[in-house]
Amino acid sequence: MPLSPTSRSRRLPRLADLGLVYGFLILMWLPLGSLADEIDSALIDLSDRSFDVKQAAVEAIAIGGDPRAAGLFQALLAGDLYARKDDRRPVLVTPAPGGYRLTDAFHGSDLGEVERGAVKKITINNRMRNQLRTAIAALTLASPDPAIRLEAAQQMLGDADPMVIEAIREQLGREDDQRVRDYLDLSLALASLRDEDPAVRLASVETLAGSLYPESRNALSTLLNVESDPQVRVAAERALAATEQRLKLNAAAETLFFGLSLGSVLVLAAIGLAITFGVMGVINMAHGELIMIGAYTTYLVQQAMPGFLDYSLFVAIPAAFVVAGLLGILIERTVIRFLYGRPLETLLATFGISLILQQLVRTTISAQNVAVQNPSWMSGALQINPALALTYNRLYILFFSLIVFVALLLILKRTALGLQVRAVAQNRAMARSMGVRSARVDALTFGLGAGVAGVAGVALSQLTNVGPNMGQAYIIDSFMVVVFGGVGNLWGTLVAGLTLGVANKLMEPWAGAVLAKILVLVFIILFIQKRPRGLFPQRGRAADG
């Protein structure tokens, strides 16, 4: 952007700093040996008593463009750079018996051990500190690693130093990473907000309009407090309004994502219950504890694979399914099979089983919560833009719940077991007369629902604390999802879980977490009064009876 005459005159005393940029172009014509000699001489000058000589040395080293110079400058800025007294070579020191072990600060070579009095610390002043920060930013901005360039561009935000601005413009001409380019453009626009020419400030404001970067919004707000030009003020107000509108849209998208994430958790927790409650008519109050068993299985697998954390979940998922599934079959064969047709007694029996499982975990593992770690590929977030980030763990669990749903749907629709389960669910007596062994189907169905609950525990272990009481937080929500979606209908469970999750998150900002849950419960009660069979009622003779 063009500078006003007044702005140029104010910056003339600092234009000497531009020698770092233009000097680099001149040195490109020098022989390599001459350039190396220049840097070696400058390295020696860093230990000079005169700060002016030191500043000239920093400039000469930076002009060389060697990436090793950034590490040297960082050590000097941190006060960790020393010089040998005999040859004034800059070194890094490490304590050793009777003295120091020296490392060449520029080349990284080992220089052996010396006595403590053989080296002295290189001192700097505030002016050099500013110079070093600028030089470090300029050197890292030319790094071949996009992550390093991005970090350098972020550090340059708000820096109006002419040398920094010139370095940014030079880098923009060759930068191919879009995120780095965005930060470089933002740096130029922020620097131009301080220009004395209203036309330059106006152009900068228009560039920043709608920008989602916090630095942009803060700079525009600051500008409004000090700006005297009415045209620039109006433009800044419009720019802030456009930014606020985009922030609201991104906040809504984030709320939707968290709602879908919560809904996927509810689907995982309820989908196993949809099988046992919907197909068998069993009110299983131990369903939450089966989820807990799956979470503890994940913990034990991680303890057994301490060096393979990133792969432990791939072992924990089938392990949790088998452990919880076998436990479900055991519960069905030893307790549930004697209580079919007596829902109240089934409820009380499974509630007792839930207490037993909680105490079993407290006794055998721990009464306290245990730590289940996230693998590295589930850590961090997917940055959509500066105002919207989607955490990987919730993103993966959303996809995982859909995978589990599709797998379960295929089992029930495409396998012989699924055909028998649907036959028993629709008309048990007719299925028996056709040769279906209903007792075996009941055990396998209960085991399948329990196994899916165990898999849900694996997913929940990546989001919440794993403890003996964790299942109690999901049992009520699971029943609400099943009843709302339609007892025994998997599609209803999916739609109901996602719907309730999104509704809960939409109400939380203005109603609070507790009141939002109460409102959801009231809504379901009223809905069931109108549609007792839920969103997607089960079809068949059993459903009509």
CA distance 428 to 433: 9
Residue 420 has pLDDT above 80, yes or no: yes
Instruction: Kindly tell me if the per-residue pLDDT of 330 is higher than 90.
Output: yes
Query: Is residue 134 pLDDT above 90, yes or no?
Result: no
The CA-CA-CA angle for residues 403, 451, 528, to 5°, reads 75
The model's pLDDT over 74-103, given as tens digits with 9 standing for 90+, comes to 888 888 899 998 888 899 988 888 788 899
What is the predicted pLDDT for the residue at 399?
93
**HEC letters along 85-117:** CCCCCEEEEEEECCEEEEEECCCCCEEEEECHH
pLDDT of 409 > 60? The answer is yes
Of 129, 139, 130, 126, nearest in space to 21 by CA: 139
Q: What is the mean pLDDT of the chain?
A: 82
Kindly report the length of the chain: 545
- Amino acid identity, position 210: G
Residues above pLDDT 70, as percent of the chain: 90
Report the candidate in 393, 445, 396 with the shortest Cα–Cα distance to residue 419: 445
pLDDT at 151: 77
**Beta partners for residue 114, in sequence order:** 100
Q: 23 or 507: which carries more pLDDT confidence?
A: 507
Angle between helices 51-64 and 68-78 (to 10 degrees): 150
Per-residue confidence (pLDDT) for residue 10, from 0 to 100: 38
**More confident position, 432 or 405:** 405
* 375-390 confidence digits (pLDDT tens): 888 888 888 888 888 9
Domain spans of the chain? 5-195, 252-471
